[in-house]
Amino acid sequence: MNNIQNVSRRGFLKGAVAAGTFVLGARLVPEPLWADILNDAPDLFQPGIFLSIASDGTITIVAHRSEMGCGSRTALPLVVADELDADWSKVKIDQAIGDAKYGDQDTDGSHSVRSFFDQMRQVGATGRVMLITAAARKWRVAEKECTTEPGFVVHKASARKLSYGELSAAAAKLRVPRKEDVPLKSRSEWRYIGKDNALFDLPDIVTGKATFGMDAKMPGMVYASIEHPPVLGQKIKSYDDKAALKVRGVKQTLTIETFKPPHHFQPLGGVAVIADDTWAAFQGRKALKVNWDTSPNAVYNSDQFRKTLESTARQPGKVVRNVGDVDAEFAKGGKIIEAEFYAPHLAHASMEPPVAVAEYRDGKVLAWAPTQSPQAVQETIASVLGVKKEDVTCHVTLLGGAFGRKSKPDQVAEAAVLSKQLGKPVKVVWTREDDIQFDFFHSVAAMYMKAAVGPDGKPTAWLQRTAYPPIGSTFDVNAKYADDEMGLGWNNLPFDIPNHRAENGPADAHVRIGWLRSVANIYHAFAIHSFADELANAANKDSVQYLLELIGPPRIVPLKAEPDEQEEQKRYPLDTARLRRVVEMVAEKSGWGKSPSGKGHGFGVAAHRAFLTYVATVVEVEVDEKGQVQIPNVWTAVDTGTVVAPDNVRNQIEGAANFGASLALLSEITVTNGVVNQSNFNDYELVRMNSAPKHTSVYIVESDAPPAGVGEPGVPPFAPAFYNAIHAATGKRIREMPLSKTQLV
Amino acid sequence: MIRFTVNGTERTYDGDPEMPLLWYLRDIAGFTGTKFGCGMSLCGACTVHQNGEAVRSCSVAMKELEGTSITTIEGISATGLHPVQKAWMEIKVPQCGYCQTGQIMQAIAFLRQNHNPSDQQIDEAMSGNLCRCGTYQRIRAAIHQAAKEMA
């Protein structure tokens, strides 16, 4: 069924744009005539976008995904512009508000381009066909005699051309062609896709004009800083704001009720200091005295919890994948190798802390926020304030980093709650301390690995168990198993081993758990690829050669797929040929094996598929006599299918090496009696220019496979490749993240 | 009454003398290109120039401004782009972009002191500026390129 229509012809956007503007919408719902589609296929994926061409030639493309630095706000409009044959320099981008008519707007899971690539092509190509039709009618020539060049329809035979702006009014009157009558460009005809294009917002970013959430303003707004309960779930017993109210610029204090479990994305609760500016609000907060009630989460001590998790990981858990019979193989005796791995909580620590502006008026809410998910803002505010979702308007600013944190809009709901009490717009600004202490934390995790090894050094059986508090605990207080995280590198081991079992054990959550860039892939890849390297060492084999042997011959790995995963699995089968290729590529580019490891100098390798992208990384380390570690080089080969913006892919993968270096070397969140011990960049450390990898080289596999994820997949292989390099350099096997927990000398 | 200039324009201030310059710039004067990241001089997102030298505006109190001149990212070039900004664009440094104005202000002040820096000197000069997206290698390359252009 054709699902693109000329909405201006039907007056859909009447009043929204100037008359005569050519507006093209894709799957714009809800819309009366589309009801049949909705009824026929209630599960239909219904993202929406539209483009409009004004008579002055300005092309406006709606970006319905959030921009947090991964580039989708540029990449998707670029795809539309390419198929439209637009002049990119004349394109304006409109950031969409949160609205179900756009379909999924939750910008996470590295899926903006892969989920919307085909649709954006279709939108652009449909516009192009209609502009050609409009020109052909004007010239009274056949459509097939017409072609386009950026911004123009051209009739070569008569040397005539008309700009898209000149044609927009006529095109607006046309019927939308059927999908089968809309030719897409061949890959060789792409002008922008696959070429090096800059981020749309680059000029504004380098001049300080870009508007992030921190920069959003509303007339008459006041500023708020909130003292949150130190332990998750605590309520206010009493509080004393006398000193706070004496602080210059402080107007008043207000309370926010503590959420009722499950916490979902609700406000944590607490005491808000309202002031004339951010600084006064911060100062007033320092002068507050709050007595907190108790919370069952005060029992949480991450040191003790580690022991619980490790013990769980040693026990049989829920089987999430089973091939052959590992128990029978282990029972045969022979060489058995076991290992345990542990990874701590992490905080997202995006450079822009959580922040939002919101105004409640007459039962409606208007918000400006750096959010990955404007529809989650609508839903959360609607649920917290008891208003209709449609009555919450959420504008999306640029995000100063996000990494999954800003999918959760608790701070936007705080602003709305306070605005309702105050009757004026409120800007809520979290301090860095708030950000680090009250995050939705990346989970702690314990992994237990066991292999039986044959005479050739290859495993005949491989058992892996993992245990950690699941993200599902955000939505369900009883969630103990990480069902949703198993696909993140645990139930899809791509190794050629006759007997294999993957298990997951139960765990309780006592802090908010959330997804952080590449999520469970981080600790899963850490355990799997550290263990693989350990087996290679035990077999006295080269790590790259051994890894290729583990991956085995080129094949499609048979995996179970839930009904909602089958389409994706068909389109993106787990193909070991592609995994082998990135390993071989990174080995070649890094000069693997040419420089011997040992004596404080070493190379390590890991290869992992995440978000449907195949990534192999080689890390080089130097360890001096004091145990100080330098990373002279990181080489990464990536096969992410069709690439829209290659330089952006390189930038993302380079960034992933630095993100990976932070968590592999330095970062750790610990909790004592339910209270997070870290608070700012002095004790929650990230790599800086002098501790980051010196050089990062990225190699992209040329591919015409469907596009896959880019923002996250570079992260998981870094830590194991790095630790394997540490082992090669020093003989020390790292079983615990981050490296700072291990004395190297 | 404290008197100083921001981007060449004279200003006066008689509010809380302890207020950090950062919040004056952002909330009162409207120069939002200067970013809040940590409030403790740990990340460099708020870097501006005081009398031409890079300072963390989150840790400079308004009372310390008397008679000084402040330059923010908005005032770095009256005509088009500074060579450092140009290099940032050519190398395509930014990802999310939030820390980049602070990085650029730090780099400009550094290049005034050192016209031909080594990798190591750049690393030392820039290690107070965090980038969570991880653009350090591009920042280093852009500083080299800007140094060449400015030579």
pLDDT score of A22: 60
pLDDT > 60? residue B80: yes
Are residues B65 and B101 both part of a single domain? no
Are residues A124 and A230 both part of a single domain? no
Q: What is the pLDDT of residues A209-222, one digit of tens each?
A: 999 999 999 999 99
DSSP A693-716: -SEEEEEEPP--SPP---TTTTST
Does residue A481 form part of some domain? Answer: yes
Domain harbouring B13, CATH code = 3.10.20.30
Does residue A303 form part of some domain? Answer: no
Q: Show the tokens assigned to A590.
A: 């890094």
Which chain A residues are closer than 8 Å to B45 by Cβ?
351
pLDDT score of A31: 28
pLDDT score of A55: 85
A470: helix, strand or coil: coil
Are residues A34 and A80 both part of a single domain? yes
pLDDT > 80? residue A6: no
- Contact state of B96 with A401 under an 8 Å Cβ cutoff: yes
Does residue A185 form part of some domain? Answer: yes
What is the dihedral angle through the alpha carbons of A708, A712, A717, A718, rounded to the nearest 10 degrees?
140
* Residue B20 contacts A, CB cutoff 8 Å: yes
pLDDT > 80? residue A37: no
Counted domains in chain A: 3
CA distances from A150 to A63, A83, A382, A480, A535 (A): 21, 10, 44, 55, 56
Counted domains in chain B: 2
Are residues A270 and A335 both part of a single domain? no
pLDDT > 80? residue A26: no
d(CA A84, CA A71): 20
Question: Across residues A576-585, what is the average pLDDT?
Answer: 98
pLDDT score of A3: 46
Are residues B10 and B70 both part of a single domain? yes
Does residue A103 form part of some domain? Answer: yes
Question: Across residues A582-597, what is the average pLDDT?
Answer: 96
Are residues A410 and A552 both part of a single domain? no
Question: Across residues A430-434, what is the average pLDDT?
Answer: 98
d(CA A288, CA A293): 16
Domain harbouring B88, CATH code = 1.10.150.120
Q: What is the pLDDT of residues A246-299, one digit of tens each?
A: 999 999 999 999 999 999 999 999 999 999 999 999 999 999 999 999 999 999
pLDDT score of A172: 81
Are residues B57 and B6 both part of a single domain? yes
Question: Across residues A481-503, what is the average pLDDT?
Answer: 97
Three-state SS for A717-728 is CHHHHHHHHHHH
Are residues B121 and B59 both part of a single domain? no
- Higher-confidence position of A45 and B89: B89
- Contact state of B40 with A432 under an 8 Å Cβ cutoff: yes
* Residue B138 contacts A, CB cutoff 8 Å: yes
Give the pLDDT band of residue A48 (cuts 50, 70, 90).
very low
* Residue B100 contacts A, CB cutoff 8 Å: yes
pLDDT score of A327: 98
Give the pLDDT band of residue A202 (cuts 50, 70, 90).
very high
Which chain A residues are closer than 8 Å to B104 by Cβ?
206
Which chain A residues are closer than 8 Å to B101 by Cβ?
205-206, 208
Are residues A605 and A689 both part of a single domain? yes
Q: Which of B37, B85, B140 sits opposite A432 (nearest CB)?
A: B37
Counting Cα atoms < 13 Å in the Cβ hemisphere of A266 gives: 20
Q: Show the tokens assigned to A698.
A: 């990225």
Are residues A257 and A395 both part of a single domain? yes
Are residues B65 and B106 both part of a single domain? no
Q: Which of B35, B38, B94 sits opposite A214 (nearest CB)?
A: B35
pLDDT score of A39: 32
d(CA A126, CA A688): 47
Give the pLDDT band of residue A311 (cuts 50, 70, 90).
very high
Give the pLDDT band of residue B79 (cuts 50, 70, 90).
confident
CB A445 within 8 A of CB A309: yes
Are residues B143 and B103 both part of a single domain? yes
What phi, psi does A224 have (nearest 5°)?
Answer: -135, 140
Residue of B nearest to A198 (CA): B92
Are residues B140 and B118 both part of a single domain? yes
| Final residue before a domain boundary, out of A207, A242, A275 | A207
DSSP A478-543: T--S-GGGTTTTTS------SEEEEEEE----SS-B---TTTTHHHHHHHHHHHHHHHHHHTT--H
| Final residue before a domain boundary, out of A402, A429, A456 | A429
CB atoms under 10 Å from CB of A624, counted, come to: 11
d(CA B39, CA B21): 11
Does residue A145 form part of some domain? Answer: yes
Does residue A469 form part of some domain? Answer: yes
Q: State which residues form the domain around A258.
A: 214-295+354-429
Residues of B (33-62) whose Cβ lies below 8 Å from A: 33-40, 42-43, 45
Shortest Cα distance, chain A CAs vs residue B67, angstroms: 23
Rg of chain A over all Cα atoms, to the nearest angstrom: 27
What phi, psi does A478 have (nearest 5°)?
Answer: -95, 0
Q: In A140-215, which residue ranges form alpha helices assigned H by DSSP?
A: 164-171, 202-207
Give the pLDDT band of residue A18 (cuts 50, 70, 90).
very low
Q: State which residues form the domain around B110.
A: 83-150
pLDDT score of A23: 59
Are residues A17 and A33 both part of a single domain? yes
| Final residue before a domain boundary, out of B75, B96, B117 | B75
Are residues B37 and B14 both part of a single domain? yes
Are residues B65 and B92 both part of a single domain? no
Interface test with B, best of A66, A73, A202, A207 (most B CBs within 10 A): A207
CB A557 within 8 A of CB A614: no
CB A356 within 8 A of CB A428: yes
- Higher-confidence position of A36 and A565: A565
Are residues B141 and B123 both part of a single domain? yes
Domain harbouring A576, CATH code = 3.30.365.10
pLDDT score of A25: 53
| Final residue before a domain boundary, out of A142, A176, A207 | A207
Q: Are strands A613-623 and A160-163 parallel, antiparallel or unpaired?
A: unpaired
Euclidean distance between the first and the last CA atom of chain A, given in angstroms as a whole number = 67
pLDDT score of A608: 98
Are residues A525 and A393 both part of a single domain? no
Average per-residue pLDDT for chain A? 92
Among A594-603, B19-28, B81-90, name the one with the lowest average pLDDT. Answer: A594-603
Question: Across residues A216-229, what is the average pLDDT?
Answer: 97
Which residues touch A641 (CB under 8 Å, ≥6 apart)?
A114, A612, A613, A703, A704, A705, A706, A707, A708
Are residues A325 and A393 both part of a single domain? no
Does residue A260 form part of some domain? Answer: yes
Are residues A474 and A546 both part of a single domain? yes
pLDDT score of A563: 87
Strand order in the sheet with B47-50: B9-13, B2-6, B69-71, B47-50, B53-56
Does residue A82 form part of some domain? Answer: yes
Are residues B71 and B100 both part of a single domain? no
d(CA A470, CA A334): 36
pLDDT > 60? residue A586: yes
Residue of B nearest to A656 (CA): B134
Are residues A425 and A462 both part of a single domain? no
Percent of chain A at pLDDT > 90 equals: 86
DSSP B68-113: -EEE-GGGS-SSS--HHHHHHHHTT--SS-TTHHHHHHHHHHHHHH
Q: What is the pLDDT of residues A155-200, one digit of tens each?
A: 999 999 999 999 988 888 888 888 888 999 999 999 999 998 999 9
Q: What is the pLDDT of residues A85-115, one digit of tens each?
A: 999 999 999 999 999 888 889 999 999 999 9
Are residues B45 and B61 both part of a single domain? yes
Are residues A404 and A365 both part of a single domain? yes
pLDDT > 80? residue A10: no
